[in-house]
Amino acid sequence: MSIRVLLADDQQLVRTGFRLILSAEPDIEVVGEAGDGATTVRNARRIRPDVTLMDVRMPGMDGITATRQLTAQTPPPTRVLVLTTFDVDSYVYDALRAGASGFLLKNAPPEELIRAVRLIAAGEALLDPAVTLRVIEEFARTPERPTESAELTRLTDREREVLLLVARGLSNAEIAAGLFVSEATIKSHMARLLAKLMLRDRAQAIVYAYENGLVVPR
């Protein structure tokens, strides 16, 4: 079955470019477009696409608010991939908290866009190391440090270790190499810790680790 995608950006030229790139793939279908946040929410609830490419800066309701409204539903009608330009956008942390499953730079090459859509549709999270760094920087500016949550006691020592490394921006492959185990083992640890903490994906896990005191920015 095709991956169904909704494009949300206030620039028609950007949407057209994304449509041309994605529609050329045999397993991806663009099923709708929207130029503002409110229309995005309505269309996503009606069409229920697998992935919504969400611009942050849109007229009226912005992309963060739209993401928050969509992910507040159970189950959400779509997974959200936020489009951003780090030079001007400082919304990474807010978007993660709103429930975005990943980020993509607007100037990313076409193959990265296609890869991102497939990853998000498969239930993964897409977090560039630069995104994780931005989250760390956000917490470094926060004067009050969170205390460690009692929920973390549900995790085994190895699951805590994996969560810590994920929060520091390491990929599954990097974690596996550092712990001298297989990547499949790390994926199993991730699945268990997400279930125990009732988190949806890697993006939520990173926010959780910082908000609940497992990681303190250095």
141 Cβ contact list (under 8 Å, min separation 6): none
Contacts of 145 (CB under 8 A, 6+ apart): 213, 216
The arithmetic mean of pLDDT across residues 192-210, rounded, is 86
pLDDT at 131 over 90: no
Lowest mean pLDDT among 6-10, 93-97, 112-116: 93-97
Average pLDDT of every residue of the chain = 85
Which residue blocks in 11-146 are alpha helix, DSSP H?
Answer: 12-23, 37-47, 63-71, 92-98, 110-121, 129-140
- Could you tell me the domains of the chain? 3-126 (3.40.50.2300), 144-211 (1.10.10.10)
Query: How sure is the predictor about 40, in pLDDT bands with cuts at 50, 70 and 90?
Result: very high
Output the CA–CA distances (angstroms, integers) from residue 52 to 35, 80, 117, 135, 139, in the order listed. Answer: 13, 5, 9, 22, 27
CA–CA separation, 108 and 77 (whole Å): 26
